[in-house]
């Protein structure tokens, strides 16, 4: 159920400035951090375009969008009200520093998979991408977010990864070091859209859809406690942590997406950095 404070606020998650209260007029941020999320209350019936692409607006006027790790900006945002009036906003993107993370002791076959596994990996990644593209009218994200586990952050979103001395893609989420078998709880309510116990690179993998293209992903799990199509509540146990797939020790990888755009879980509403 929507919390009243979310309905009354225009939330700029990942901004330097705090959230601003609004009444009727549309308010959009002037700046947004790389990896940040915007949750905005527009007038019902409005249309929203971000960087020239239409963005889902709920019947109640709620909309979300985000800036990826490498977004340079500015983001050009336009809002067209039900009366046809158009408001254009230019959002500057605040750059971040991305430290290098060196991860050693990774099984070589997961750093550079053998050619005969290429088709499997491509098939698995395509299935995950399809689940991330789900878009519906549920607003589970409006309940805010909580930590799926409690532990030391051992890997941060966006940092450049070097596995066994070999540069690879930036880290797409946040790693939290926890013992094997730690219960993983849903950070927000949602519907399970993907649940597989043994993907080659990510091992036990779950995607939890929160509505409007926002989804959490949980990787390297040792046991899955949910199934596709299941609705879960915030705080419900969905899995046990592990070290399956490309991992050197037990931990939980928590990633967050707006469709295909990877965002920083630490910038979500309700999440406070330890």
Domain boundaries, the chain: 4-94, 100-267
The fold for domain 100-267 equals Glucose Permease (Domain IIA) (2.70.70)
247's tokens: 């991992």
d(CA 40, CA 26): 8
Pairing of strands 190-199, 231-232: antiparallel
d(CA 81, CA 196): 42
What pLDDT score was predicted for residue 118? 94
How many CB atoms are located within 10 Å of the residue 58 CB? 17
What pLDDT score was predicted for residue 99? 92
Mean pLDDT of the residues in the chain: 89
Does the domain at 4-94 match CATH 2.60.40? Answer given as yes
**Range with lowest mean pLDDT among 12-21, 75-84, 196-205, 229-238:** 12-21
Q: What is the pTM of this model?
A: 0.88
The model's confidence at residue 180, banded by pLDDT at 50, 70 and 90, is very high
What pLDDT score was predicted for residue 109? 87
Contact by Cβ (8 Å): 155, 101: yes
How do residues 17-42 score in pLDDT, each as one tens digit? 333 222 223 478 899 999 999 999 99
The reply to whether 4-94 and 100-267 are identical in fold is no
Beta bridge partners of 47: 80
Start-end of H helices in the chain? 4-8, 108-111, 118-132
What pLDDT score was predicted for residue 27? 76
């Amino acid at each position: 159920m929507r919390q009243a404070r979310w309905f009354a606020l225009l939330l700029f998650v990942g901004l330097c400035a705090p959230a601003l209260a609004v009444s009727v007029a549309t308010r959009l941020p002037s700046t947004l951090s790389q990896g940040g999320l915007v949750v905005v209350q527009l007038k019902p019936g409005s249309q929203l375009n971000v960087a020239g692409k239409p963005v889902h607006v709920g019947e109640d006027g709620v909309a979300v969008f985000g800036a990826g790790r490498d977004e340079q900006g500015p983001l050009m945002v336009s809002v067209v009200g039900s009366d046809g009036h158009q408001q254009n906003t230019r959002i500057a993107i605040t750059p971040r520093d991305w430290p290098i993370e060196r991860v050693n002791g990774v099984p070589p076959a997961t750093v550079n998979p053998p050619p005969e596994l290429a088709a499997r990996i491509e098939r698995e990644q395509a299935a995950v991408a399809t689940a991330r593209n789900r878009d519906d009218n549920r607003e589970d994200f409006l309940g805010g977010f909580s930590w799926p586990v409690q532990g030391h952050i051992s890997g941060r979103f966006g940092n450049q990864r070097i596995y066994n001395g070999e540069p690879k893609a930036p880290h797409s989420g946040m790693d939290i070091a926890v013992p094997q078998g730690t219960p993983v709880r849903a950070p927000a309510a949602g519907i399970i859209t993907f649940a597989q116990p043994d993907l080659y690179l990510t091992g036990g993998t779950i995607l939890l859809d929160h509505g409007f293209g926002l989804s959490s992903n949980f990787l390297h799990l040792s046991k899955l406690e949910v199934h596709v199509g299941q609705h879960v509540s915030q705080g419900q146990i969905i899995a046990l942590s592990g070290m399956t797939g490309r991992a050197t020790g037990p931990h939980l990888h928590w990633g967050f997406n707006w469709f295909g755009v990877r965002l920083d879980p630490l910038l979500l509403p309700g999440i406070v950095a330890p």
